[in-house]
Amino acid sequence: MTATFTLLTSGYDSLDPRNADRDGVEKPWHVASTVSLLRDGDLAVVVDPGMVDDRKRILDPLAHAGLSPEQVTDLVFSHHHPDHTLNAALFPHARAHDVWAIYQGELWYSRPAEGYQLSPSIRLIETPGHTPQDISTVAETDQGTIVFTHAWWSATGPAEDPTSSDNETLRVSRRKILDLEPALIVPGHGEAFVPDEGTPV
């Protein structure tokens, strides 16, 4: 069995043109996470249910995929920045997964993320760098291996993560992901892309 992938919405980050004239204090950033849906059998996983300018950008394509928010079984947080977690409450019955544990209702199930299988075709790996707690979701699909990650903000990188205090660890995580030979990478704030020799490491 293989997973299926639907891009619910593509995100954008501080390099968005609308942020070009931001003066640092008074004007807010325009930022949104890339939000994705994976399905494998009865499992329906939303990856990074974070900030968007309108929740319809998540809910409308979810409905188009034939799912209500109540039918989403799992959430994955690549890390705990609010721009990747803010809309988790849209999915009232979902288990939530991060680097440390699985959470549902009042229950906290501690476990390491590395190698954790959500389903036969979907697993988690630890990929620190953007934050020390970053994880990536690896899905085996008919398109090949797809990795959902904040190791890259978008297809162009950036080569050095401006918010990371450990870009060497980030480079190690990027190599770990590229060693999987993914057919597609879904980055934290941009369109899915096919990695190539120009992909920043």
Q: How confident is the model at residue 1 (pLDDT cuts 50, 70, 90)?
A: low
**Within 13 Å and on the Cβ side, how many CA atoms surround 166?**
13
What predicted TM-score, i.e. pTM, was given to this entire model? 0.96
Q: Give the count of beta carbons closer than 10 Å to the beta carbon of residue 143.
A: 14
Write the DSSP symbol of residue 75. E
Among 35, 135, 133, 134, which Cα is nearest to 90's? Answer: 35
Name beta bridge partners: 101. Answer: 110
Q: What is the pLDDT of residue 51?
A: 97
Whether 201 contacts 175, CB under 8 Å:
yes
Instruction: List the domains of the chain with CATH numbers.
Output: 4-186 (3.60.15.10)
Per residue in 8-29, pLDDT (tens digit) is: 999 998 778 888 877 767 788 8
User: CA–CA separation, 11 vs 191, rounded Å?
Assistant: 7
Residue 14: what pLDDT? 78
Note whether 171 and 30 are within 8 A (CB): no
Q: What is the residue-averaged pLDDT of the chain?
A: 95
Quick one: DSSP state of residue 118? E
Q: Is the peptide bond before 120 cis (omega within 30 degrees of 0)?
A: no
- 104 pLDDT band, cuts 50/70/90, is very high
Per-residue pLDDT band at 157 (split at 50, 70, 90): confident
